[in-house]
Amino acid sequence: MQRRTLGKSRLEVSALGLGCMRMSHDESPIPDKQEMIAFLHAAVDRGITFFDTAEVYGPFTNEELVGEALEPFRGQVVIATKFGFKHDPDKGSSPTVGLDSRPEQIKRVAETSLKRLRVEAIDLFYQHRVDPDVPIEDVAGAVKDLIQQGKVMHFGLSEAGAQTIRRAHTIQPVTAVQSEYSLWWRDAETEVLPACEELGIGFVPFSPLGRGYLTGKIDETTTFASADIRSRLPRYTPEARKANRAVIDLLARIGEQKGATPAQIALAWLLAQKPWIVPIPGSRKLERLDENISAIAVELTPDDLREIENALSKITIQGDRYPQELKQMTGR
């Protein structure tokens, strides 16, 4: 397994990470816990050292799963988790009551995440979404305190805008920014990636396979369970999926030339953008995990990248990434 360093931080991780959310969240039915533990062990065996979870996944149960599964590999793997949602204390589950990145809340979440993850320090602690009610300087200061106390190793931001990243970085160096980035969602290229490059911050794309669409295995006839977030996203309506088929045709054409699948071309394209980019595709099946890992060996030449770029410039992606209420929580 190739390894990459997230920016100037010297945080070294496998070239591909693993998104763990759907192992115990956003699914119906929830996958069997013991099967997911065995799957996480298999990922470590294959060289994956970078695992992504969050307090809100489940909520709480995903951190517990990752913590239990990876406890035997403490010191050999890097676990990223996130803070920033407010939970209803009566229901103990719903993040819909809003955002909360007050310093006292960040420190409370850190203590509980440490216990669930079964670690002495959180490797990478992201603010899950920017809280408009809390200055980012206060957020960065709270994480800086946790770093000084030895409870957190690195600070990250998720779905933050470039100016927020810059302001946070002046208080506590940001190790990584996590945002959606793929062949069919490239907004990060405008301001966020240039800011990361200038400041020496790593970039961690989530949904690098377009929540499964870029694998070519989803079409307009695919159905999603009501618990699946894709059932609520404009880009995954049957009409949008049919209209966006040109992207899959492009990936399949390049893949045929390289002896690779559409998913492998999509991941290879991301890996070719910058050496400090580490995608975190989510998977729960060994065949998908092995397919994703094999993308690291797919070499896209400058000519290949130009061909992809030229073809993409002629394709207009249909459907918004998020509905308005979710869109308002990103890029701030």
Tokens of 12: 């070294």
pLDDT at 237: 96
User: What is the distance of C-alpha 103 from the center of its chain?
Assistant: 24
DSSP state of 223: -
Cβ–Cβ under 8 Å, residues 330 and 99: no
Tokens of 285: 């099946």
On the CB side of 239, CA atoms within 13 Å amount to 4
pLDDT at 28: 84
Q: Please, which residues bridge with residue 312 across strands?
A: none
Helix (H) or strand (E) holding 268: helix 262-273
Helix, strand, or coil here: 16?
A: coil
Of the candidates 300, 289, 215, the one whose C-alpha atom is nearest the C-alpha of residue 47 is: 289
Crossing angle for the helix pair 162-171 and 136-148, nearest 10 degrees?
40
Tokens of 103: 């310093």
How far is the C-alpha of 317 from the C-alpha of 262, rounded, in Å?
A: 17
User: What is the distance of C-alpha 171 from the center of its chain?
Assistant: 24
C-alpha angle 277-33-14 in degrees, rounded to nearest 5: 20
Cβ–Cβ under 8 Å, residues 155 and 201: no
Tokens of 314: 């002629």
pLDDT at 302: 97
pLDDT at 89: 62
Q: What is the DSSP string of 26-87?
A: S-SSPPPHHHHHHHHHHHHHTT--EEE--TTTTTTHHHHHHHHHHGGGTTTSEEEEEE-B--
Query: pTM of the full predicted structure?
Result: 0.96
Pick the CATH number of 3-327 from 3.90.1150.140, 3.20.20.100, 3.40.50.300, 2.60.40.10: 3.20.20.100
Tokens of 195: 């800011």
Say how many residues make up the chain: 332
Mean pLDDT of 146-155: 98
Q: Decide the pairing of beta strands 11-14 and 174-180.
A: unpaired
Supply the Cα-derived Rg of the chain in whole angstroms. Answer: 19
Q: pLDDT band at 102, cuts 50/70/90?
A: very high
C-alpha angle 275-329-146 in degrees, rounded to nearest 5: 65
How far is the C-alpha of 61 from the C-alpha of 39, rounded, in Å?
A: 16
pLDDT at 91: 59
Q: Please, which residues bridge with residue 178 across strands?
A: 158, 204
Catalytic residue among 57, 126, 181, 236: 57
How far is the C-alpha of 124 from the C-alpha of 1, rounded, in Å?
A: 21
pLDDT at 144: 98
pLDDT at 155 over 60: yes
Q: Decide the pairing of beta strands 11-14 and 18-19.
A: unpaired
DSSP state of 186: -
Other Cβ atoms within 10 Å of 269 Cβ, number: 24
pLDDT by residue (tens digit) across 76-96? 999 999 999 998 765 555 555
pLDDT at 279 over 90: yes
pLDDT by residue (tens digit) across 204-259? 999 999 999 999 999 999 999 988 999 999 999 999 999 999 999 999 999 999 99
User: Is 57 part of the annotated catalytic residue set?
Assistant: yes
pLDDT at 96: 56
